[in-house]
Amino acid sequence: MTDVAPIPPITGTISLTVPVERAFAVFTGSINTWWPHQFHIGHADVEEVVLEPRVGGRWYERGVDGSECDWGRVLLWEPPHRLVFTWQINGSWQFDPDPDRASEIEAVFRADGSGSIVDVEHRLFERLDGGRAINDAINGGGGWALLLDSFATTVAHA
């Protein structure tokens, strides 16, 4: 079907002292609070990050200038245990509306005593279109500098 080699998923596991209901509620309802606003795609600074709470819901950023930039869609909405949504920003840093070229994020919430465990997996990167921008960025330098700056910020705060 595809001649692109699989790219390893990004995975994370978080142990919480709060029950799954709260974990799910915070993950979905407060994504605007926990998603670091410096990570965004649009040109304007982020005013709000929105995840619409239903299958087919949009995941998008709204800039301080009112502009909206789509990131993905909700594929599965099973509170408080499971959520699957897509990341459809490609290598050109553009939203790609084709669902066949969407990477997926699955968050699974399970009880652990009186607390909970959340497993997050961002997968299917090989579906994304690498695009010209990465190529241009490598040859031009600008995009890489930006990417590395993002990394520096991340590592410093880790």
Residues 85-124 that bind other proteins (CB under 8 A): 87, 89-91, 118, 120, 122
Considering only residues 43, 100, 113, 139, which one is a binding residue for other proteins as defined by CB under 8 A?
139
> Are the beta carbons of 125 and 147 closer than 8 angstroms?
no
Cβ atoms 114, 21 nearer than 8 A: no
Treating both helix axes as pointing N-terminal to C-terminal, what angle do 142-157 and 131-140 enclose, rounded to 10 degrees? Answer: 90
**Structure tokens given for 10:** 């990004």
Structure tokens at 86: 């897509």
Whichever of 3 and 66 has its CB closer to other proteins, that residue is: 3
What percentage of the chain's residues is helix, strand, coil (to nearest 5)? Answer: 30, 35, 35
- Our CA angle for 151, 7, 103, nearest 5°, is 80
What's the min distance (Å) between Cβ of 23 and other proteins?
6
Minimum distance from residue 66 beta carbon to other proteins (Å): 24
DSSP string, 42-92: SSSPEEEEEE-SSTT-EEEEEETTS-EEEEEEEEEEETTTEEEEEE-B-TT
The residues in 32-91 that bind other proteins, with binding defined as CB under 8 A, are: 33-36, 39, 87, 89-91
Please choose, out of 6-14, 53-61, 62-70, 72-80, the segment that lies near other proteins by the rule CB under 8 A. Answer: 6-14
Shortest CB 154 distance to other proteins, Å = 3
Closer CB to other proteins, 74 or 89, in the complex: 89
Closest to other proteins by CB, 51 vs 66, is 51
| Amino acid identity, position 114 | S
Binding residues (CB under 8 A) for other proteins: these are: 5, 7-8, 10-18, 22-23, 26-27, 30, 33-36, 39, 87, 89-91, 118, 120, 122, 125-126, 128-130, 134-135, 137-139, 141, 143-144, 147-148, 150-151, 153-155, 157-158
